[in-house]
């Protein structure tokens, strides 16, 4: 057996999932191959770590594929158990151990997000916001009436009245998007230099706004959270679920929320 073939089976071997003949062949190769023996130890340690940290979830195939890719690319020698090696070399953040820890952190984070749909939505909205704000940087404000007319024709669902901006806040761009495999639209507002807010709207008759963590703003009580240093508000208006991610501070976010909410 060649190394490349052995490596393809190490993860399954570490989990005792190989047919006996194939398991024997992989073990026989690893017995005479230092690289594959080390890789097998990493797989076993990873398997143990995953079982220990997140016993309720099975490792998704995508995570395993990425770990295997990291193993193949890595030239970091691993002479003893991975866990011991990691504790002895905590500064090797860019090495194999760092890559594995990062992958596990992403994966555990993702499973946590899957268990909390609002968190998943917020996480996705944060990503979109950062991307939109970067695109909108230095862009002159187009005519908001044209922007909104184009958006309405592309949205695929009724948007109702929308805040077109005012002397303080400019509507910079609009997008059609998809969130949780549903159509959505995004409106990007600029409120001062390098201060952006992204408003995501999606059909929301069936959306549930969490009952806790509500922030009273005048007579309204949107759901509120701070995530990655951004203000996040989530509420329903008409039949839309509305999620705003903002670079602004709390009071400025509340002021923008009122403009958006009262326009509807």
Nearer to Zn ion, 3 or 70 (CB): 3
Nearer to Zn ion, 18 or 36 (CB): 36
Number of residues that bind Zn ion (CB under 5 A): 3
Shortest separation between residue 67's beta carbon and Zn ion, angstroms: 17
Q: Count CB neighbours of 249 within 10 A.
A: 10
Based on the shown chain and the rule CB under 5 A, indicate whether residue 1 belongs to the binding site for Zn ion: no
Alpha helices in the chain (DSSP H): 3-14, 20-31, 34-53, 61-73, 82-88, 96-115, 117-136, 144-155, 250-263
In whole angstroms, what is the distance from residue 7 CA to residue 43 CA? 10
Contact between 125 and 245 under an 8 Å Cβ cutoff? The reply is: yes
> Which residue in this structure is represented by tokens 């326009």?
263
* Residue from 23, 25, 33, 130 in contact with Zn ion (CB under 5 A): 33
Which range in 25-33, 68-76, 122-130, 246-254 contacts Zn ion by CB under 5 A?
25-33
The residue among 259, 261, 255 whose CA lies nearest residue 234 is: 261
Binding residues among 240-259 for Zn ion as defined by CB under 5 A: none
How many residues are there in the chain? Answer: 264
Which range in 34-42, 57-65, 183-191, 221-229 contacts Zn ion by CB under 5 A?
34-42
Nearer to Zn ion, 3 or 76 (CB): 3
Shortest separation between residue 37's beta carbon and Zn ion, angstroms: 8
> Which residue in this structure is represented by tokens 């679920």?
241
Which range in 27-35, 86-94, 156-164, 229-237 contacts Zn ion by CB under 5 A?
27-35
Contact between 113 and 123 under an 8 Å Cβ cutoff? The reply is: yes
Nearer to Zn ion, 36 or 78 (CB): 36
Contacts of 39 (CB under 8 A, 6+ apart): 7, 10, 71, 78
Based on the shown chain and the rule CB under 5 A, indicate whether residue 36 belongs to the binding site for Zn ion: yes
In whole angstroms, what is the distance from residue 209 CA to residue 196 CA? 24
For the window 138-177, what string marks contact with Zn ion as x by the rule CB under 5 A? ----------------------------------------
Based on the shown chain and the rule CB under 5 A, indicate whether residue 3 belongs to the binding site for Zn ion: yes
In whole angstroms, what is the distance from residue 61 CA to residue 207 CA? 30
Shortest separation between residue 29's beta carbon and Zn ion, angstroms: 6
In whole angstroms, what is the distance from residue 190 CA to residue 72 CA? 45
Which range in 30-38, 103-111, 133-141, 248-256 contacts Zn ion by CB under 5 A?
30-38
Nearer to Zn ion, 3 or 264 (CB): 3
Shortest separation between residue 70's beta carbon and Zn ion, angstroms: 17
> Hey, what's the torsion of the CAs at 60, 63, 64, 65, to 10 degrees?
120
Interface ranges with Zn ion (CB under 5 A): 3, 33, 36
């Amino acid at each position: 057996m060649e190394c490349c073939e052995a490596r393809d089976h190490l993860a399954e071997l570490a989990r005792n999932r190989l047919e006996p003949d194939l398991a024997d062949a992989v073990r026989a190769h690893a017995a005479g191959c230092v690289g594959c023996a080390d890789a097998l130890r990493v797989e076993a340690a990873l398997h143990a770590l995953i079982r220990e940290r997140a016993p309720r979830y099975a490792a998704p195939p995508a995570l395993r594929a990425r770990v295997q890719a990291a193993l193949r690319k890595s030239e970091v020698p691993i002479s003893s158990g991975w866990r011991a090696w990691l504790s002895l070399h905590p500064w090797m953040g860019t090495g194999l151990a760092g890559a594995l820890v990062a992958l596990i952190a992403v994966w555990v984070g993702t499973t946590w997000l899957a268990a909390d749909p609002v968190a998943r939505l917020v996480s996705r909205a944060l990503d979109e916001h950062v991307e939109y704000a970067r695109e909108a940087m230095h862009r002159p404000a187009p005519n908001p009436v044209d922007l909104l007319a184009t958006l309405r024709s592309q949205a695929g669902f009724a948007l109702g009245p929308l805040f077109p901006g005012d002397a303080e806040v400019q509507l910079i761009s609009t997008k059609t998007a998809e969130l949780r495999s549903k159509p959505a639209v995004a409106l990007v507002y600029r409120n001062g230099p390098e201060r952006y807010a992204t408003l995501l709207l999606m059909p929301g008759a069936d959306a549930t706004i969490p009952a806790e963590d509500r922030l009273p703003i005048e007579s309204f009580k949107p759901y509120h959270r701070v995530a990655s240093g951004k203000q996040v508000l989530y509420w329903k208006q008409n039949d839309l679920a509305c999620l705003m991610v903002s670079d602004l501070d709390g009071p400025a976010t509340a002021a923008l929320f009122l403009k958006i909410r009262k326009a509807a």
